[in-house]
Amino acid sequence: MPGKLVSIITAADTAVRNQSLDAFCAPASLAGLMAECAELETFRRRSDNLYERVRALFFLYSIHRFHLPRKTGVAQRGLVPFHGYEHLLQRRFEEAITVFLGCQQADGPSATISSALAAAYQRLAFQTLADQVRRSVRTVAGNRWMFRMGHPADHPLRLRPELLRRAPDGTFPILRERTPVRMDMSHSGWSDIFFLGMDYPEGARVLNVSIDLGVHGRDTAPRPPVEAYLRVIEEPLLRLTSVDLGATADVTTLAEVFDFARDYLGLLKAAVIAAGIVPPGIEGSGQSLDQLLARVVGPGRGLEIVSNVNNIPKGSRLAVSTTLLASLISALMRATGQAQSLEGPLQESERRLVLARALLGEWLSGSGGGWQDSGGLWPGMKLICGALAQEGDPEFGISRGRLMPTHRILDANDAPPKVREELQDCLVLVHGGMAQNVGPILEMVTEKYLLRSDAEWKARQEAIHILGDILAALRAGSVRDLGALTTRNFFSPIQTIIPWASNCFTETLVERVRASFGEKFWGFWMLGGMSGGGMGFIFAPGQKPAAQTLLQQMMSQTKRELQSALPFAMEPVVYDFAINERGTHADLIAGREAMLPQAYYALHVPKLLRADPQSLPALRRAELDKFGAACRTHPELGGMVQALFDRLLPRLKTEDGGGQSLDALLEQNGFDRALHEQIRDDLKNGRIGLAQNRLPVNAEITDVHDGDVLDATNGLRAEDIEAGQDALARGELAVVSLAAGVGSRWTQGAGVVKALHPFCKLGGRHRTFVEVHLAKSRRIGRLAGAPLPHVITTSYLTHGAMEEFLRRHQNYGYPGPLLLSPGRAIGLRMIPMERDLRFMWEEMPQQLLDEQAQKVRESLRAALIGWARQAGEGSDYTDNVPSQCLHPVGHWFEIPNLLRNGVLARLLEERPGLKHLMLHNIDTLGADADPAMFGLHLRTGACMTFEVITRWIEDRGGGLARVNGQVRLVEGLAMPREEDEFKLSYYNSMTTWISVDKLLAVFQLTRSDLASEEKVAAAIRRLGARLPVYITLKDVKKRWGHGQEDIFPVTQFEKLWSDMTALPEVACSFAAVPRLRGQQLKDQAQLDGWLRDGSAAHVDSLCEW
Amino acid sequence: MQISKAIITAAGQTQRTLPLQTLVDRDGTPKAALAILIEEVIRAGVEEICVVVCPGEESNYRAAAGRHASRLHFIEQPSPLGYGHAVWCAREFIGAKPFLLLVSDHLYLSRSAKGCAQQLVEIAQAEKCAVSAVQSTHESKLPYYGAVGGRLVHGRQRLYQVESVIEKPTPTEAEQRLIVPGLRAAHYLCFFGMHVLTPAVMELLGEAVQQAGARGGVQLTSALAKLAERQRYLACELEGRRFDLGASYGLLTAQLALALDGKDRAEVLAGLVELLAARSGN
């Protein structure tokens, strides 16, 4: 008798199959759920069907992540076996699951082991999907041979003779491919992601439009933004140039072709491989590239490939990267006869093949979008739909749908010329300036689709329905209806499925546009995976010119208001666009007309001019002649001479730091040059570093005993609550929120103030972290009858933005004293030591990625090690805007800052009754000045009471331990061995209740000493010297070009608050609190789970907005 | 269906001297490659042979044909307008009859008692339709040959119903259109250089010649692709091998194959062993 959940998965009746898991699990008993899990586990191991296996895995993930931990009878405290965790990191998911299930069998269910099982099931589900996509891409007819070919002598492609015919000046012709980008009018709830199309082809429908583009005010007219150029050269190599990224390389070995992250040319390399010029089967063969090129192009010859996206900014949500990949592949396939059409548009069968190769190229280069992203190959407007797998398809018998969708080009009945014209007259396309990673969103979509949660499943049906309505609006010629539908799509189904598709910036813009244009604003349109980058605003006819101007101003204004809070990669832009009715198109240009893009010459000509003319190959000399002649005759090349002169004689770089140089900023913000040089010296000499952060290997680290921790997970005594309430009423407590950091993990080093990030909608609108903390303090203050003083610590990186933000929002109406505690110390980042990079990447356990993604990562890491060597290990990191070169020096300094900057002294002076502080991290959203916890702290009489939570697998970075018998918190950086952390069942939440006078005593200070700067400074130096310095590596983004971002690992040092527990004179107590109170939000990918598991609702209940 | 006429094409710019090369035949007699090919045709029972040559080449070819010269008709292809055009030049010689077509830069070695051309002619006569000889070929050789796609004729071995024909396909195209059930992975049916064709082919070539005009580029494969749409058209794997004289070491390989299959086999083998021994002794 199969389990009920297995029956849901295998049901033929769609009403049964589409049942929600949550609805089933909510009333189920623990024993019932455990039995269902056992059935699902057996079922997923024996099923051959992709859909059944993956859905069972997601069911298991969801039960362990969201349901089991809440059932009565599940232990909250437990340990994750380290060898299971190692299996997980090495992507041995089946082995990890076996180990975790063994633990569950032996010790009974626990929230800890369920967290580990949830992680393993989820990763295995996505791996299973990725494996199937890879298999499907490889087995598409027309792609298979490339995986068999392993020797140049077997290479079956030859360059078409037309490309080998020289012009009278000796130059070869150029094949130029020009491709429009795609914009989607609706993707029916991200239905273009692979698994949806492969499992639910009926629901996978996208309305996709090919468009030409120009930046409003910069370009004279819209044109196909993506261009690929190809020509023969008289050198046996691949010369690759990306003119937008200013990158060029002569690739001479096969290994370099497969080294994607070595430079900015990964996309061009992926195209060369996916087009079969260097087929994937030859990777690692040890053969030579020149022999291969001799076979394909001719002895002694090679190919030059140039890409150009006309400076269209990254993150446009118009699939520029995938379009470029497809455009390059198309040119290369034409050139080698794999497409019959050398010039003109492609035939339908050729477009489909280029699509299949683009999918392969995306997989090779570790990127990945949806299957609609190569839509620019097709002309005009088209409906792209999933298709049922038929006999002969590689997916037949494995999944319901095929990997490859079908395309139906809309004709004049489907979308009359008038509506196409009106759409161009009414739609304003923009790039808001935000560039965010859509990857996590696409994973969430897959997960939610499989779980069929009620609201989200209904929303999916609504999104499918809206697409039908959009098609009807087009047929009827009503752009107004279209605008209403895309707006409804964004605010209803899209945000129901994925709330994170929206953000505060987008919604503010929509509000402002609506306020300005009223009835003449017809609708908003989210392009692609999420909003904030590419977006559309639809207006009544005649409004477009004014709307374009106003939108540019509004976006720039809104960006200025939010740029400290949200990650913007660039200044917003408004586009001009036109529907492209011919799709990708190629022409062969020869002789004088055979020119490459202008920026190509700016990149290459200086090198040629510097070279001895006699040493230049004849072809290069002919190229120079041609370019020289063109400069004289082509008006668009008029500025080239100046551009070349500037390149040949570069001007000095000027500082860009809001008028302040890095040196001035260091000077003003308490930079300790002597300490910095000491740290550099220690770092270079190997006295400090990642390996040296660790406690001695002979340190004995064990889990704490039962009596070491006070249990506050199941409510506290009435007398604690009463004591806490009384103390609050007497004004004995102030809250301190740590907000000096920029949340490196939160925005991958984008340098925004995490505290100001409007991360989630609570109480009906987007709220920042700081607003949430103030709302909790407001509530507690009201309950206590005395407003609670609230201190927010800041640093150079956050102070100005915080001050301005709070002023603009009138302190969010906070009734109590609200003080900022500015930082008094700053560090200067350094180029990392190769030793530390290798330690982090090679010796510390790492999550291995999917095969191809791992290759790309290793290539990138090799490049970064090369960068560190070249830039000078241990030297100052200054090659960025000043704010990205500085770093806060660790949260230990934040309490000393309170002493040093006079904020505590002022508070104590105004409120002599203040006796305690509650310190918490900005991302510990459940922490509030709970009277019961306060009462507990008072009962202990400790200097400090630290709140800890039971560990889940994602809680990495140390914990509560007995170190050589002493109960203390240990940072993850200090663990002598990785496995030590897995012996610890409690994780530090960082929330600390502090008795002010006892703490001052630790500093050997009294309240009256706070008036003396010298005394305070000396006390801080004295205590600080007893605490360890940790060397850490943090990611920092460097922005350049048009929305481009590079991420570099940089070295910085920190002193950490939890090390206070190691000082023998500090009386500490530890209290275990519920997870909802103590958990932290470190990564935006956690947000969805946080919303779904009730954490958001819990936080909302603590707030008074 | 009776096949009494054959066309040998020798007008290609790169192949004009290859058929004139002298090889030692299986019987130990030195002959021009052309003469060996003519004997292959005669062995198939085809008596009337037309050789299509470049202008001014007739005398060289006549000399190379030796004792068979008297039975040959020569037709000149006035300008190089494609292989299909060369075949079409012989239309009047063929009239309205089926014919055997061979390229002059290939030699054939049968593994059975019957010659390759003889096998092909017998199959065409039995099946009463056009038949092309094909050979299962690895995809790396696709740039050199025309190839066909199709399926086995029900109940027959090595005989295929042709559904598509493509000249020098890329493997990309081949995977999509030329997969033939039963072949080894990465192998396709490529032309063997030998066909029995029906007069309809001449009509199709005529249309193509008219369309192309002076631009040329008339391909036989395009006509065969159309033939497959109009008539029953088969492909057959013969018991034998072809040798492309124009490939690198093509003449040498063909010579070795002939010698190892003939009366001087032992002598040639001994010579080879001696060469190898002397080389390894160095």
| Residue A1020 identity (one-letter amino acid) | I
pLDDT tens-place string over residues A701-734: 999 998 999 999 988 889 999 999 999 999 999 9
Do A278 and A292 meet the contact criterion of CB atoms below 8 Å apart?
yes
Q: Which of A142, A156, A336 minimises the CB distance to B139? A: A156
pLDDT at A312: 79
CA distances (Å), A895 to each of A471, A792, A907, in order?
60, 11, 14
Asked if A242 and A280 touch (Cβ cutoff 8 Å), the reply is no
The gap between the terminal CA atoms of chain B, to the nearest Å, is 60
Q: Is A30 exposed, middle or buried (0-12, 13-18, 19+ CB in 10 A)?
A: middle
Chain-wide mean pLDDT for chain A?
A: 90
Q: Which residues of B touch A146 (CB under 8 A)?
A: 171
- Please write the tens of the pLDDT for every residue from A964-998: 999 999 998 888 888 899 999 999 999 999 999 99
User: Which of A379-383, A657-661, A998-1002 is least confident?
Assistant: A657-661
CA proximity to A156, closest of A296, A357, A360, A300: A296
CA distance A255 to A289: 9
* Alpha-carbon dihedral sign for residues A67, A72, A77, A78: negative
Q: Is A276 in contact with B172 (Cβ distance < 8 A)?
A: yes
Nearest to A827 by CA among A873, A888, A884: A888
* Phi then psi dihedrals of residue A260, to 5 deg: -70, -35
DSSP state of A9: H
Whether A658 has a pLDDT exceeding 60, the answer reads no
Tokens of B161: 């119903």
Taking only the tens place, the pLDDT of each residue in A903-958 is: 999 999 999 999 999 999 999 999 999 999 999 999 999 999 999 999 999 898 88
pLDDT above 70 covers a percentage of chain A that reads: 97
Q: Strand B130-138 relative to strand B233-237: parallel, antiparallel, unpaired?
A: parallel
Cα A1064 → chain centroid: 42
Given a cut of 90, whether residue A115 has pLDDT beyond it is yes
Cα separation, A475 vs A157, in Å, equals: 45
pLDDT at A889: 85
Is B134:B235 a contact under the CB 8 Å cutoff? yes
- pTM value is 0.84
Name every chain A residue with its beta carbon within 8 A of the beta carbon of B174: 145
**Residue type, position A215, single letter:** V
Mean pLDDT computed over A516-535? 92
Cα–Cα distance between A730 and A722 in angstroms, integer? 12
Beta-sheet pairing, A1030-1040 with A958-963:
unpaired
Any idea which of A775-779, A1045-1049, B69-73 has the lowest mean pLDDT? A1045-1049
Instruction: Please give the share of chain B, as a percent, with pLDDT higher than 70.
Output: 99
By the 10 Å C-beta count (0-12 exposed, 13-18 middle, 19+ buried), A615 is classed as exposed
Q: What is the DSSP letter of B190?
A: E
Question: Beta strand A205-215 with A181-186: parallel, antiparallel or unpaired?
Answer: antiparallel
* For chain B, domain boundaries: 5-281
CA proximity to A296, closest of A288, A286, A308, A307: A288
At residue A656, does pLDDT exceed 60?
no
The whole-angstrom separation of Cα B209 and Cα B218 is 6
Strand order in the sheet with A585-589: A247-251, A238-242, A302-308, A226-233, A174-179, A585-589
A1082 vs A37 pLDDT, higher one:
A37
Nearest to A141 among B141, B143, B175 (CB): B175
Chain-centre distance of CA B46, in angstroms? 15
Q: What is the DSSP string of A718-737?
A: HHHHHHHHHHHHTT-EEEEE
Chain A positions contacting chain B at CB under 8 Å are 141-146, 148-149, 153-158, 276, 333, 336-338, 349, 353
C-beta of residue A82 within 8 angstroms of C-beta of residue A66: no
CA distance linking residue A510 with residue A507, whole number of Å? 5
Q: What's the pLDDT at A648?
A: 63
**What is the C-alpha separation between A98 and A107, in angstroms, rounded?**
14
Per DSSP, the residues of A588-629 read EE-GGG----HHHHHHHHHHHHHS-GGGS-HHHHHHHHHHHH
* Per-residue confidence band for A659, with pLDDT thresholds at 50, 70 and 90: low
Q: What whole-number distance in Å separates Cα of residue A1006 and Cα of residue A370?
A: 63
Q: CA–CA separation, A942 vs A993, rounded Å?
A: 9
Say which residue, A457 or A632, is predicted with more confidence.
Answer: A457
What's the pLDDT at A317?
81
Interface of B with A (CB under 8 A): 138-143, 168, 170-176, 179, 185-186
Q: Which domains does chain A have, with CATH numbers?
A: 4-139 (no CATH), 595-648 (no CATH), 662-832+873-1102 (3.90.550.10)
B140 chain-A contacts, CB cut-off 8 A: 149, 153-156
Q: Checking DSSP bridges between strand A585-589 and strand A174-179, what pairing results, if any?
A: antiparallel
First to last CA, chain A: 52
Distances (CA, A) of B211 to A710, B206, B219: 95, 9, 12
What pLDDT does B251 receive?
A: 93
Question: What pLDDT was estimated at residue A824?
Answer: 80
Residues of B in contact with A156 (CB under 8 A): 139-143, 170-171
Indicate which of B144, B168, B172 best probes the interface with A, i.e. most A CBs within 10 Å of its own CB. Answer: B172
Alpha helices in chain B (DSSP H): 33-43, 58-65, 83-88, 91-94, 116-127, 171-177, 199-212, 220-230, 250-260, 265-281
Residues of B in contact with A145 (CB under 8 A): 139, 171-172, 174-175, 186
Rounded Cα distance, B168 and B31, in Å: 32
Interchain contact, B138 vs A154, CB within 8 Å: yes
- In chain A, which residue's Cα lies nearest the Cα of B174? A142
Which pLDDT score is estimated for A653? 47
Are B174 and A349 within 8 A, CB to CB?
Answer: no
Residue B105's contacts (CB-CB under 8 Å, 6 or more residues apart) are B10, B12, B15, B18, B19, B33, B244, B245, B246
To probe the interface with A, which of B151, B170, B222 has the most A CB atoms within 10 Å?
A: B170
Q: Are A733 and A918 in contact (CB under 8 A)?
A: yes
Question: Which of the two residues, B78 and A957, has the higher pLDDT score?
Answer: B78
Closest by CA position to A190, among listed A446, A465, A466: A446
**Averaged pLDDT, A817-830:** 91
Percent of chain A at pLDDT > 90 equals: 64
The whole-angstrom distance between residue A130's C-alpha and the CA centroid of its chain comes to 19
- 0.95 surpassed by complex ipTM: no
For β-strands A585-589 and A701-702, DSSP reports them as unpaired
Short-list A587, A598, A600, A623, CA closest to A242: A600
Tell me the backbone φ, ψ of residue B51, rounded to 5 degrees. -110, 125
Cα–Cα distance, A703 to A710 (Å, whole number): 15
- For A1040, other C-beta atoms within 10 Å of its C-beta total 13
Rounded to an integer, what distance in angstroms lies between the CA atom of residue A530 and that of residue A441?
Answer: 8
Q: Using the predicted structure, report yes or no on whether residue A521 has a pLDDT greater than 60.
A: yes
Q: How confident is the model at residue A831 (pLDDT cuts 50, 70, 90)?
A: very high
Taking phi over 0 as left and psi of -120 to 50 as alpha, with beta for the rest, A1099 belongs to: alpha
Choice between A634 and B69, residue whose per-residue pLDDT is larger:
B69
Mean pLDDT is lowest, of A121-130, A302-311, A842-851, B223-232, for A842-851
- For A450, counting Cβ atoms within 10 Å of its Cβ (0-12 exposed, 13-18 middle, 19+ buried), the class is buried
For the cut 70, the answer to whether the pLDDT of residue A671 exceeds it is: yes
Mean pLDDT value of segment A807-822: 94
Q: Position of tokens 């989200």?
A: A456
Give the domain B5-281 fold: Spore Coat Polysaccharide Biosynthesis Protein SpsA; Chain A (3.90.550)
Per-chain mean pLDDT for chain B = 93
Question: Tokens representing A254?
Answer: 């096969």
Contact criterion met (CB < 8 Å) for B170 and A337: yes
Closest chain B residue to A156 measured between Cα atoms? B140
A370 neighbors A193 (Cβ within 8 angstroms):
yes
Q: Is the pLDDT of residue A1100 over 90?
A: yes
% of chain B with per-residue pLDDT over 90: 84
DSSP state at residue B170: -
Please state, as a whole number, how many other Cβ atoms lie within 10 Å of the Cβ of residue A371: 25
pLDDT digits 0-9 by tens, B117-136: 999 999 999 999 999 999 99
Amino acid letter, A1091: L
Quick one: pLDDT at residue B108? 95
Residue A657 has pLDDT above 90, yes or no: no
Strands A944-950 and A986-995: antiparallel
Closest CA to A601 of A635, A639, A651: A639
Sign of the alpha-carbon dihedral angle for A764, A767, A771, A774: positive
Per-residue model confidence (pLDDT) at position A366: 65
pLDDT of residue A1020: 92
How far, in Å, CA of A187 to CA of A527, rounded? 9
